[in-house]
Amino acid sequence: NSKHTSDMDSSKIQGNIKAEVPVHSCRIRVGRSIDGFGLSPGITKEQRLGVEKLMKNAVKNFPADLAGQYYPLTGMKENVRQQLVDDHFLFVSGDRNLTVAGMERDWPEGRGIFHNAEKTFLIWVNEEDQLRIISMQKGGDVRGVFARLAKGIKAVGDSVYKESSKDFCLDPKYGYIHSCPTNLGTGMRASVHVDLPGWTAYGVDKLQARCEELHLQPRGTRGESGGQTGHTYDISNKHRLGYSEVQLVQKMIDGVNTLWEEDKKHQQAKQI
């Protein structure tokens, strides 16, 4: 009888990505759904606006380091929109998978983006999921990013409960409920953008096979359906279900350190 175990205790993480590894940035996200509101393929217009209203109030209760502003997509001023695009924070309509699943009905009403003053903590409201909670920063301090995420998820959960007496949708077996089944369990993707010139020279197909062994997923740096640019890769945990959050972050840290050690050997072999 399998049971989902959640663990957001960042003190259990062993080590971190080594300082020498050429990591540009780190980002960890989870999805969350609030009890009593539909998932995005079937959510009603009223429910979607209800989620947004709840979050507009909830974000006012955040602690100082997470405090910031909510930017609704409806009626967004051009200068605000452009700034969010420049920061790579804005999500846009037109994703074929979301459209065909009915997730972009009534666009852009009820959607928006929250971020803190430092731009290291974000919440997407009513994109693919009711909530996407995101922690990110430059450099390779994965442990620090995870600690902020844990604090942020708790702040969102506490604030939502204070406003509505509602909790996140959590199934004892399948974990946190999301719109897409691939996110069941933790709903967490912990990723870094890292340079791997040695692996690039050795072969991208070989890198993909190695990532598979390490329970990692390599992507191009342009997102899920984007392409590959140069030798910078987005490397993340492959699994969402069957492991705790701490275990998945640990796999990513250890895996990226391993890939870099191997990358140096490939660089020597290929005389890069």
Residues with catalytic roles: 29, 128, 132, 180, 182, 189, 219, 224
- Provide DSSP, 4-50: ------GGG--S-S-TTS-EEEEEEEEEE-BTTS--TTT--HHHHHH
d(CA 112, CA 72): 4
Tokens 């605000």 locate to 80
d(CA 165, CA 153): 16
- Provide DSSP, 52-96: HHHHHHHGGG--GGG-EEEEESTT--HHHHHHHHHTT----S--H
Measured CA to CA in angstroms, residue 144 lies from 132, 140, 151, 244, 269 at distances of: 19, 9, 11, 18, 34
Strand partners, 125: 112, 131
Q: What residues contact 27, with CB distance under 8 A and at least 6 apart? A: 134, 135, 136, 145, 190, 191, 192
CA dihedral 172, 174, 176, 181 (to 10 degrees): -160
Strand partners, 234: 193, 219
